Amino acid sequence: MPRIELAGVCKVYQEGKPNAFTALSDIDLVIDSGRITVLQGPSGSGKTTLLTLAGCLARPTSGRVRLDGEVVSGLPERFTAELRRKRFGFVFQQFNLIAGLSVRDNVMLPAYPTGIGQRALVARADALLARLDLARRAHARVESLSGGEQQRVAIARALINDPPVFIADEPTANLDSALSAAFLDVVAALRAEGRTVVLSSHDPRICASPLIDRVVRLADGRVVA
């Protein structure tokens, strides 16, 4: 199971420009495999930035990110793309689904570059949609779904390539209590399958949940606890 390590990681946006902004400073963090880790902190504390670095969506300005002991922060783009495809499933705060496409098409998108046959791909997508109780919405356009349904589509999309690491950014920010609880159930199931789960949240319902293995507190771009 993958273990993610961040060593001396800094992230500066607009580096070298007058509006440069330091989002993360000197982050040393180990995210254990097969566990649920939550990054907790107020808005602007650097949770999302840390998730994007851990998930190879961006490169640190300095420092290193390791996956299973291998440095991945300096890899050429085609290797990080392959890592994102095979090792990580990412659920964004705004879900980032492609409007105009059906639920099933959105779910299948990450698998397109893998060259899997259409029939196998549809079967895999439909199985995930059934698991997340979205089977009857497979042909609906994603923009017609409720927020909770869109999140489940995003989860299905994140799992289509069966990644060992599942990352979700503020997953309950737009959900009510019942849907938040349902999300936690999904996360618990993913851990039970042996996946590493990393969440960011400032939602006390998440951070205080007994399902969570570890809470990492961030403030002003630094790990404080």
Residues that bind other proteins (CB under 8 A): 13-14, 52, 57-59, 77-78, 81-82, 84-86, 90, 92, 96, 98-101, 105, 108-118, 121, 157-158, 161
> Rounded to the nearest whole angstrom, what is the least distance from the CB of residue 125 to other proteins in the complex?
12
Pair type for strands 88-91 and 36-40: unpaired
Rank residues 156 and 215 by Cβ distance to other proteins and give the closer one: 156
Rank residues 13 and 207 by Cβ distance to other proteins and give the closer one: 13
Whether 1 contacts 33, CB under 8 Å:
yes
> Rounded to the nearest whole angstrom, what is the least distance from the CB of residue 166 to other proteins in the complex?
13
> Rounded to the nearest whole angstrom, what is the least distance from the CB of residue 215 to other proteins in the complex?
24
> Rounded to the nearest whole angstrom, what is the least distance from the CB of residue 115 to other proteins in the complex?
3
Pair type for strands 62-67 and 4-13: antiparallel
The Cα–Cα gap between 192 and 108 comes to: 24
Roughly what angle, to the nearest 10 degrees, separates helices 147-159 and 177-192? 10
Rank residues 61 and 207 by Cβ distance to other proteins and give the closer one: 61
Q: How many CB atoms lie within 10 A of CB 18?
A: 5
Q: Which strand (E) or helix (H) includes residue 24?
A: strand 21-31
Rank residues 143 and 213 by Cβ distance to other proteins and give the closer one: 143
- The structure tokens 């779904």 sit at 145
Rank residues 71 and 181 by Cβ distance to other proteins and give the closer one: 71
> Rounded to the nearest whole angstrom, what is the least distance from the CB of residue 111 to other proteins in the complex?
8
